[in-house]
Amino acid sequence: MWLALLLALWGSVVGFIAGRNQRPELVESARRATYALAGVLVVASLALIVALVKHDFNVSYVASYTSRNLPLVYTLSAFYGGQAGSMLFWAVVLATFGALAQWLTSRRYDDLLPYVAAVTSLVVLFFVATTLFAANPFVRLPFTPSDGGGLNPQLQNPGMVVHPPLLYLGYISVTIPFAFAVAALLSKRLDTGWLHAIRKWTIVSWLFLSIGITLGMWWAYVELGWGGYWAWDPVENASFLPWLTMTAFLHSVMIQEKRGMLKKWNMILIGLTFFLSIFGTFITRSGIISSVHSFAQSPIGNYFLFFLIFIVVATGVLIAKRMPMLEAESQLESMVSREATFLFNNLLLVGIAFSVLWGTMFPMISEMVRGTQVTVGPPFFNQVNIPIGLALLALTGIGPLIAWRRASPGHLKRQFAAPVTTGLIVAALLLAIGMRDFYAIMALSLAAFVVGTIMQEFIRGVGARNRLHGENYALAFARLVGRNRRRYGGYIVHLGIVMYFVAFTGQAFTTSIEASLKPGESVDLRSPWGYTYTFTHLGVSQYEELNRFTTAASVEVARDGERVGIMKSEKRQHVDSFGRASFEPSTEAGIRSDLREDIYIVYAGSVQGTEEAVYRFTLNPLVWWLWFGGAVLVAGGVVTLWPGATSGAERRRSMAGYAASITGKSSAAAAG
């Protein structure tokens, strides 16, 4: 770790010097420092993994988060399950990303790379220093316990094995686009070159964040047992914030690429995204805000606070100094243009980010201003954010339909007629079947509208290829997507987002009942779809498995009298290697999912130690759409990322954009 500290320091200092004077030996030294840094931190990480796997309980971290009977997969996931290990994980992944950025980036950006090495090394330096001085996973105990404390049962779940690292990957990879932005500012190379260099990094980072957040929702849903997947907890909010600003950046960067506009805004957005990725970690670990996810309080928060202030000041000063060089190359020509809708899309995304941040911080603000503590929970966030979210959903459909620069009335009519009609038909149908929830009707109608816009784009594209090239529809579809992957991959991502909104709408119709049932007794619950579910308690069995003692309650489920199957919910009492109970018992929900609704059964406990069981039965409509929306979103992201995504047609359009920006500039000059 000390070697990593020195290498990170070297990489930062030499990187900045090499960036300024471009001396080849210094440039090379900065590059090699990133490789060496990654290598050293990989060795440190392997050392921790070996200690975990070999149950070296003399290492405090190993003793705190594992035990002899912990399954191997969770022993490995304990690497990032605790504060100190997660800091090392962050450092090693960032150092690896930093090395990959040096290795994979085209030589065209050679003059940016020393600065990129400097920024990534500086951020790694911060994490290594914090790990060394405030949260060191290699600290040894003065004695060796015979067994460790074990991992929190709620972290012993497959979702928890993959959710944190993927979310971390998202947070961490944001550093690379940020490093390129700083490099562009420092080197004064403020053309679109740096944007091309980071295009894939930004999409990868956004995808990691999206997958990490979705897996977090899945983990909460299957493991925490409350039947929901998003509770607006400060830590959930912290992961959502950089996702929002990164999404805004992914859209606004297109305006800069096409029209040479929004240069200042894009710099601010990428800086803000990086800031929020660190800020999320700060609020998780500093203890300034109460959260169920909070790590144990430690001096680590002070380190993060200092680093956050440094980021704001350094990035702010740098952007301010380069302001004159960040002037737009062209002017916006019409209120009714794709640029304008993207601007409003940015406004809403950043607006939601602000409202989430505002709500998250408001308890602290209230205490400072009034001296009174308040709670800002889900009712507040839902009330404030649902209308903004719906406006954003509408823009998801509107944006891609409007032409760049200026849209004519005829163009608008042709583009919007079918999707708007689709949305209105769905609204009418929902009203006809008796739905009266305003937001649900709005969300589902807008979802239909957006799906209409996406389908229309695909149908027209396939039709055009069929007419122009005589291709059959399947081939036309494949080539349409294959030759313009960024655009059609984006549409697929939008489809995934629509599926998320459909799933969120289902939350308005959740129904639930609690019941205590003796074996053979039943309870009925009516679903929003009109079905009547009958839950019959079969009995409770107890057995030992792995590192726990399980109490499983079984229920036979019937829908409108027709047998659906047997479902099981469990209470798990984890035990240490001596068979002693460790941690509080955890609950495993029984879940059966289909397109319409999830049957969600929670065994709450037994009455007076008998087989009479207390249950909560919940019917959660449309949850399936969330997980498959996530899969669609990832598929769209992969299409966008696939090599060779920049087709000839796209390059030509891109060139047309530049040509337009040049003429636009001359027109502005003429006007001036």
| 528 counts as binding another protein under rule CB under 8 A | no
Interaction with another protein in 463-492: which residues (CB under 8 A)?
Answer: 464-465, 480, 484
Return the structure tokens found at 565.
């199957």
| 538 counts as binding another protein under rule CB under 8 A | no
Return the residue of 53, 138, 159, 380 that touches another protein, per CB under 8 A. 380
Return the residue of 213, 272, 602, 633 that touches another protein, per CB under 8 A. 602
Minimum separation from the CB atom of position 51 to another protein (A): 31
Q: Are 592 and 602 a contacting pair, CB within 8 Å?
A: no
| 154 counts as binding another protein under rule CB under 8 A | no
CA 111/CA 122 separation, integer angstroms: 18
Return the residue of 2, 306, 310, 358 that touches another protein, per CB under 8 A. 358
Q: Which position has the token pair 């969330």?
A: 626
| CB-nearer residue toward another protein: 386 or 435 | 386
Return the structure tokens found at 120.
């990534």
| 379 counts as binding another protein under rule CB under 8 A | yes
Return the residue of 104, 292, 296, 631 that touches another protein, per CB under 8 A. 292
Minimum separation from the CB atom of position 52 to another protein (A): 27
Return the residue of 42, 305, 540, 635 that touches another protein, per CB under 8 A. 540
Return the structure tokens found at 448.
């239909």
Q: Which position has the token pair 């979310």?
A: 167
Nearest to 385 by CA among 351, 344, 362: 351
The CA-based diameter of the chain, rounded to the nearest angstrom, is 87
| 53 counts as binding another protein under rule CB under 8 A | no
| 608 counts as binding another protein under rule CB under 8 A | yes
What letter would DSSP give residue 71?
-
CA 279/CA 282 separation, integer angstroms: 5
Interaction with another protein in 261-290: which residues (CB under 8 A)?
Answer: 290
| CB-nearer residue toward another protein: 200 or 479 | 479
Interaction with another protein in 487-516: which residues (CB under 8 A)?
Answer: 512-516
Which segment (44-52, 106-114, 161-169, 346-354) binds another protein by CB under 8 A?
346-354
Q: Are 66 and 75 a contacting pair, CB within 8 Å?
A: yes
Minimum separation from the CB atom of position 600 to another protein (A): 11
| 519 counts as binding another protein under rule CB under 8 A | yes
Minimum separation from the CB atom of position 266 to another protein (A): 16
Please give the size of the binding site for another protein, defined by CB under 8 A.
99
Decide the pairing of beta strands 562-574 and 613-621: unpaired
What letter would DSSP give residue 189?
-
| 331 counts as binding another protein under rule CB under 8 A | yes
Minimum separation from the CB atom of position 140 to another protein (A): 32
CA 272/CA 342 separation, integer angstroms: 18
CA 384/CA 389 separation, integer angstroms: 9
Minimum separation from the CB atom of position 244 to another protein (A): 13
Interaction with another protein in 299-328: which residues (CB under 8 A)?
Answer: none
CA 29/CA 14 separation, integer angstroms: 7
Return the structure tokens found at 276.
């929020």
| 532 counts as binding another protein under rule CB under 8 A | no
Nearest to 585 by CA among 541, 549, 544: 549
| 455 counts as binding another protein under rule CB under 8 A | no
| 670 counts as binding another protein under rule CB under 8 A | yes
| DSSP secondary structure of 248-304 | HHHHHHHHHHHHS--HHHHHHHHHHHHHHHHHHHHHHHH-SS--TTPPPP-THHHHH
Minimum separation from the CB atom of position 438 to another protein (A): 17
Which segment (102-110, 262-270, 310-318, 571-579) binds another protein by CB under 8 A?
571-579
How would you write 12-57 as a 3-class SS string?
Answer: HHHHHHHHHHCCHHHHHHHHHHHHHHHHHHHHHHHHHHHHHHCCCC
Return the structure tokens found at 456.
């229309």
Instruction: Report the b/e string of 507-537 with b at 16+ CB within 10 A.
Output: bbbbeeeebebeeeeebebebbeebebbbbb
| 406 counts as binding another protein under rule CB under 8 A | yes
Minimum separation from the CB atom of position 192 to another protein (A): 19
| CB-nearer residue toward another protein: 32 or 486 | 486
Return the structure tokens found at 614.
């207390």
Q: Are 625 and 502 a contacting pair, CB within 8 Å?
A: yes
| 609 counts as binding another protein under rule CB under 8 A | yes
| 415 counts as binding another protein under rule CB under 8 A | yes
Return the residue of 192, 202, 396, 551 that touches another protein, per CB under 8 A. 551
| CB-nearer residue toward another protein: 138 or 362 | 362
Which segment (124-132, 331-339, 430-438, 561-569) binds another protein by CB under 8 A?
331-339
| 21 counts as binding another protein under rule CB under 8 A | no
Return the residue of 606, 646, 647, 654 that touches another protein, per CB under 8 A. 606
| 355 counts as binding another protein under rule CB under 8 A | yes
Minimum separation from the CB atom of position 563 to another protein (A): 24
Minimum separation from the CB atom of position 86 to another protein (A): 21
Which segment (115-123, 303-311, 352-360, 634-642) binds another protein by CB under 8 A?
352-360
Return the residue of 21, 107, 370, 648 that touches another protein, per CB under 8 A. 370
Say which residues have a Cβ less than 8 Å from residue 586's Cβ, sequence separation at least 6. 153, 154, 223, 571, 572, 574
CA 199/CA 398 separation, integer angstroms: 24
Return the residue of 141, 222, 231, 475 that touches another protein, per CB under 8 A. 231
The strand order across the sheet containing 562-574 reads: 522-526, 532-545, 548-559, 562-574, 586-588
How crowded is the C-beta side of 225, counted as CA atoms within 13 Å?
19
Return the residue of 233, 329, 588, 597 that touches another protein, per CB under 8 A. 233
Q: Are 554 and 539 a contacting pair, CB within 8 Å?
A: yes
- Contact flags string 191-220 toward another protein, x per CB under 8 A: ------------------------------
